[in-house]
Structure 1
Amino acid sequence: MHERAAEFAERAQDRYGVDLDVLEFDAGTKTAAAAADAVGCDTAAIASTIVVSLSGVDDGGNGDGDGIGDGDDLVAAITSGANRLDLDAAAQHFGASAASMADPVRIRDVVGWSIGGVPPLCHDAALPTVFDPTLVAYDTVYGAAGTPSAVFAIDPDSLADLAEAATVDLTE
């Protein structure tokens, strides 16, 4: 098993007490379509983790410790691979003036994983997270497991719980 995929599985066990079966594919799983082809499921059953950068967030200066409101903040969206994240809806949901795809270097530095393999769990920093309700239509969904060639299977409700994600539709 790839070192980073093994690290992901170990973190999941240490942090959440769950044993996740990591599946690796030579062809890669960097995109939702590639992951679905590799696993043999609908693209909509792929739980893609998208890290978004927010700007102009106003938390009212209350210092509530929610991690939002310090200028340029990161949040995560776990979306169905068949859906496209609506950045304007994400900005509105988090009370920001704008949202954009986060810089890959910043994702690696803050979240601890590189794009193409960012899992929905086991980040280096806690990120406010939203969960696409489309995913609950499936008995099993597949999320990235730390590399562009590894995924893990999980029940969508369990995934939302472990990720401490609010279920909200922020897709186009």
Structure 2
Amino acid sequence: MTTAADDRPEGFRRVAAALAAQAHPHAPVWLDVPARTCAEAAAALGVDTGQIAKSVIFRRRADGVAVLVVASGDRRVDEAKVAQQVGPVGRADAAFVKQQTGFSIGGVSPVAHANPPVVLVDQDLFRFPEIWAAAGHPNGVFCLRPDDLLRLTGAPAADVVEAA
């Protein structure tokens, strides 16, 4: 793993700049292997799959706004619970995700989006003292605490996953 951002892709650099601007204590790191799934990220980092803060994008039906749900990697997002929080939503395709976030699926960060989404944070992430999130590219990740995630996104912790 390396931390230099200067020669990395634009999305990774954007996340690094956003984290620095908010005085986040952990710069993003570059993995030697891509981690497009929670299992791949957990294996590369040597952590539990639940410690991976996955970013799932929905499209709110009422106005087409992106809804970002940051959930624990070992949980499934419950679309009905998301809808209770923000109104009816539908799945977003890769083109919508890229247009709204500026990131490709597999590297969607919870911060530094091209267009600010509505954000919900899975309360199950608080099971862990330390979690890892994507940093704008499948090879990029950054370390944080669940409380940091709330601070960085301005989002509430919410019940948005299926029962374990």
Aligned to 1:6: 13
Report whether the alignment pairs 1:112 with 2:102: yes
Native 8 Å contact 2:65 2:117 kept in 1: no
Could you list the runs of 5+ residues in structure 1 that have no partner in the other structure?
58-69
Q: Return the offset for 1:157.
A: 0.4
- From 22, 31, 34, the equivalent of 1:28 is 34
Aligned to 2:84: 92
Native 8 Å contact 1:9 1:20 kept in 2: no
Aligned to 2:50: 44
Aligned to 2:70: 78
Native 8 Å contact 1:32 1:43 kept in 2: yes
Native 8 Å contact 2:9 2:137 kept in 1: no
**Residue correspondences, number:** 155
Aligned to 2:122: 132
Native 8 Å contact 1:9 1:19 kept in 2: no
Deviations 1:42-88 (A, max 9, x none): 00000001111121x3xxxxxxxxxxxx3x22111000000011112
- Aligned-partner SS, 1:161: helix
Distance between the aligned counterparts of 2:123 and 2:80, measured in 1?
Answer: 18
Q: Return the offset for 1:94.
A: 1.1
Q: Return the offset for 1:19.
A: 4.6
| TM-score normalised by the chain length of structure 1 | 0.84
- Aligned-partner SS, 1:44: helix
Larger deviation, residues 4-13 vs 157-166: 4-13
Q: Return the offset for 1:101.
A: 2.0
Deviations 1:141-160 (A, max 9, x none): 00000101111001110111
- Aligned-partner SS, 1:75: strand
- Aligned-partner SS, 1:79: strand
Identity over the aligned pairs, expressed in percent?
Answer: 30
Native 8 Å contact 2:55 2:108 kept in 1: yes
Q: Give the letter aligned to residue 6 of structure 1.
A: R
| RMSD value, Cα | 1.4
Aligned to 2:59: 53
Q: Return the offset for 1:36.
A: 0.4
Larger deviation, residues 32-41 vs 16-25: 16-25
Native 8 Å contact 2:54 2:72 kept in 1: yes
Distance between the aligned counterparts of 1:130 and 1:109, measured in 2?
Answer: 20
Q: Give the letter aligned to residue 30 of structure 1.
A: R
